Chains A and B, each alone.
Chain A
Amino acid sequence: MEQIIANGLYLGAQYALIALGLTLIFALMNVLNFAHGQMYVIGGFVTYTVYAQIGMPFIVGVLASGATLAVVGALVQKFLFGPVIRKSMREESTMLLAAGIAFFLDAVILLLFGEKQRGVPKIVNGIFNYNDFTIVMPYDRILVGALAILAIAAFILYMQYSKTGRAMRALAQDKVAAQLMGVNVEHYSIIGFALGAMLAGVVGGLLVTITGINLGMGGPTSIKAFMMVMIGGAGVISGAIAGGFILGMLESIGLSVLASYGDITYLVIFASLMVFLAIRPQGLMGKPWG
């Protein structure tokens, strides 16, 4: 039991970080970023290149992942989403654009990094053993989990207390009012997109040490991120964190309880999600009709 909770917490911390990026982009621009999973994969590959191939320290790799994705996110917002949002007659166009970008990033990953599964050497060796095998957890997982929680805390503090964070929260709350108060929408949209993409990159960099990385992980990661956002409520930061930890817990419990019935954990999670959304369409903490 303790083991299940520990696994759930570790998974939840990673998931929450992915969901935070997605929900931030959604809150600011009403854009559902289909390419989020691909951004996560790029983050993983950048860390793989910097840490495993060039041989720099692991933390440099994670920072490089974050920085690369921040640049990618800023460019995508400045040259693609910004113009389309301004020009299009229907808001659905942004979704099509996001799907196009997901394909594009897949192509870039394929050309730059190939389609092989990549892994990196362990960052810390050894296994943490608490109370004679009640909780068993490799040290590298603990480290990665702690780094993820640290990143979440830093993000929340940034959103809460910095000028940029305040401006972005104002934009998410009421775009027109924020504009009237002198918030530069375009400027902060770019920063917001860069920040959201950066979070995806950082998780990619962290998780490459545990699961490795390959081209096909993009789509499933996006779907998981969508689920977390739906559980918590789209565009709400606390909701994304809650959604991440809930999904992590469910996955951890499902994998141990439902193991005897075959690989149906996700089927059960999906089905319960649909029932949950039928009762509460806006998620746990979302505004109705986001």
Chain B
Amino acid sequence: MVGAFLLTVFAVVPWLIHVSGRWDFYYTLTSVALLSIASGGVWLTFYIGRINIGQGAFALAGGYVSAILITKYGFPFWLTLPLSGLFCAALAVLIGLPILRLRGVYFAMITLVLTEVARLSALALPITNGARGISSIPLPGELSIFGLTLIPAFSTLGNVKLAFYYLATVLMVVSFAGLYRLVNSRVGHLCRSLQQNEELASSFGVNIAALRIIAFAISSFLGGIAGSIFVAISQSIYPASFPVNDSINFMLNCFLGGLGYVFGPMLGTLIIYFGWDLLFTTGQYQLLIYSTILILLIVFLPNGILSLPVFNRRGAGQ
């Protein structure tokens, strides 16, 4: 199962694209991989029983950290990638300490507001260059250890799209493997106890405050690195790069795949992104058809696509 998936992602898909000559699919699939990393983060906050509509804020923050470090301080991209993730994780701890005390719709609303705060901050702060944003960011350079080239500079590669595709999918696989490991560890079981009843978990001696901060920080870390790769691909960032709609879409991705399944966000992102693209041919009715399908899915499959019996014979990643 896992082997087949890895083979598809790393070999079959590039081969198919190579044969069919549809190079634009690399960009689409790279976006899907990055969006599913960010959605995976959102999923983790769902796992501790919080509705997170603030991932756009962290993706934006991660993107700006990466962009500013590269353009103003001359950092290499490969260093800014973890740094932007860590910055977002630190930010999440700072913001999370007060707001993770909120629950239910209160937390949902405050995280939604957070997305808006991020956009307005990017507009107002001097370092982010206001509405004009930061553009013409150089492509990722060479990554080498002791003179040994691990990853060549992207600008010297013949096919930049393929390079970004591999970068995004490798990160996606690593992130979801990490999430899977986390969920099936002791900490993961404790997180599930938070989802069901925080007071009860606390009375057993579970440190709920620390757990939810950790989960929120990991979630934001994923949002941050996704944002910073997006910046590397588009070579620019603006305050409107990750609007409120993106935050809502991250949440929809998780829901659609199924909140009870680690790999739900991946499937949800793939379906939502491709569904939206396929409907492009319907022109002005695109949004209407898309939202109708979405509503029907929610009404008839309220527990996500992975809750269909087809997927549950051998427990799909449960």
**Bound together:** yes
**Known A90-B303, A99-B252, A104-B291: A281·B101 in contact at CB below 8 Å:** yes
CA distance A226 to B106 in the complex (A): 9
**Known A100-B291, A226-B112, A277-B106: A263·B98 in contact at CB below 8 Å:** no
B106 and A80 contacting across the interface, CB-CB below 8 Å = no
B302 and A84 contacting across the interface, CB-CB below 8 Å = yes
The interface stretch among B10-18, B65-73, B80-88, B117-125 is B117-125
Q: Is A181 an interface residue (CB 8 A)?
A: no
Q: Is B19 an interface residue (CB 8 A)?
A: no
Closest CB-CB distance, A75 to chain B, in whole Å?
12
Interface residues of A in 252-271 (CB under 8 A from B): 262-264, 266-267, 270-271
Chain A residues touching B, majority SS: helix
**Known A103-B294, A226-B112: A267·B117 in contact at CB below 8 Å:** yes
A223 and B106 contacting across the interface, CB-CB below 8 Å = no
CA distance A101 to B51 in the complex (A): 18
B109 and A93 contacting across the interface, CB-CB below 8 Å = no
CA distance A226 to B53 in the complex (A): 13
A32 and B116 contacting across the interface, CB-CB below 8 Å = no
Q: Is A147 an interface residue (CB 8 A)?
A: no
Partner pick for A92 among B46, B99, B124, B295, CB 8 A cutoff: B46
Nearest neighbor of A283 in chain B, beta-carbon distance:
B106
B124 and A263 contacting across the interface, CB-CB below 8 Å = yes
Q: Is A89 an interface residue (CB 8 A)?
A: yes
Q: Is A278 an interface residue (CB 8 A)?
A: yes
Which A residues lie within 8 Å of B244 (CB)? 219, 223
Closest CB-CB distance, B5 to chain A, in whole Å?
26
Q: Is B7 an interface residue (CB 8 A)?
A: no
Partner pick for B113 among A89, A104, A227, A234, CB 8 A cutoff: A227
B121 and A267 contacting across the interface, CB-CB below 8 Å = yes
B303 and A281 contacting across the interface, CB-CB below 8 Å = no
Q: Is B154 an interface residue (CB 8 A)?
A: no
Q: Is A55 an interface residue (CB 8 A)?
A: no
CA distance A209 to B83 in the complex (A): 50
Which B residues lie within 8 Å of A219 (CB)? 244-245
**Known A95-B51, A277-B110, A278-B101: A111·B251 in contact at CB below 8 Å:** no
Nearest neighbor of A86 in chain B, beta-carbon distance:
B302
**Known A267-B124, A271-B117, A289-B104: A111·B99 in contact at CB below 8 Å:** no
Which A residues lie within 8 Å of B285 (CB)? 107, 111
Partner pick for A89 among B51, B123, B288, B303, CB 8 A cutoff: B303
Size band of the interface chain B makes with A? 35 or more
Nearest neighbor of B295 in chain A, beta-carbon distance:
A100
Instruction: Known A-B contacts: A32-B105, A270-B113, A281-B102. Give 17 more (CB < 8 A).
Output: A97-B298, A97-B299, A100-B291, A100-B295, A101-B295, A104-B295, A107-B285, A107-B288, A110-B287, A219-B244, A223-B112, A226-B112, A227-B113, A234-B105, A263-B123, A267-B117, A277-B98
Contact with A along B194-226 (1 / 0, CB 8 A): 000000000000000000000000000000000
Which A residues lie within 8 Å of B294 (CB)? 100, 103-104
Which A residues lie within 8 Å of B302 (CB)? 84, 87-90, 93
Chain B residues touching A, majority SS: helix
Residue among A103, A111, A271, A290 with most chain B CB within 10 A? A103
Q: Is A108 an interface residue (CB 8 A)?
A: yes
Q: Which 9 pairs across A and B sit closest by C-beta, in order of nearness?
A: A278-B98, A107-B287, A104-B291, A103-B291, A88-B302, A107-B288, A96-B255, A100-B294, A267-B120
A92 and B248 contacting across the interface, CB-CB below 8 Å = no
Q: Is B139 an interface residue (CB 8 A)?
A: no
Which A residues lie within 8 Å of B110 (CB)? 230, 273-274, 277
Q: Is A58 an interface residue (CB 8 A)?
A: no
Partner pick for A100 among B108, B112, B298, CB 8 A cutoff: B298
Nearest neighbor of A85 in chain B, beta-carbon distance:
B302
Which B residues lie within 8 Å of A93 (CB)? 255, 298, 302-303
Q: Is B20 an interface residue (CB 8 A)?
A: no
Closest CB-CB distance, B103 to chain A, in whole Å?
6
Q: Is A182 an interface residue (CB 8 A)?
A: no
Q: Is A229 an interface residue (CB 8 A)?
A: yes
Nearest neighbor of B296 in chain A, beta-carbon distance:
A100
CA distance A101 to B248 in the complex (A): 12
CA distance A254 to B12 in the complex (A): 57
Q: Is A106 an interface residue (CB 8 A)?
A: yes
Closest CB-CB distance, B118 to chain A, in whole Å?
10
A104 and B292 contacting across the interface, CB-CB below 8 Å = yes
21 A-B interface contacts by CB (under 8 A): A92-B51, A93-B255, A96-B251, A99-B248, A100-B294, A101-B295, A104-B294, A107-B287, A230-B109, A234-B105, A263-B123, A263-B124, A264-B124, A266-B116, A267-B117, A270-B120, A271-B117, A277-B102, A278-B99, A281-B101, A281-B106
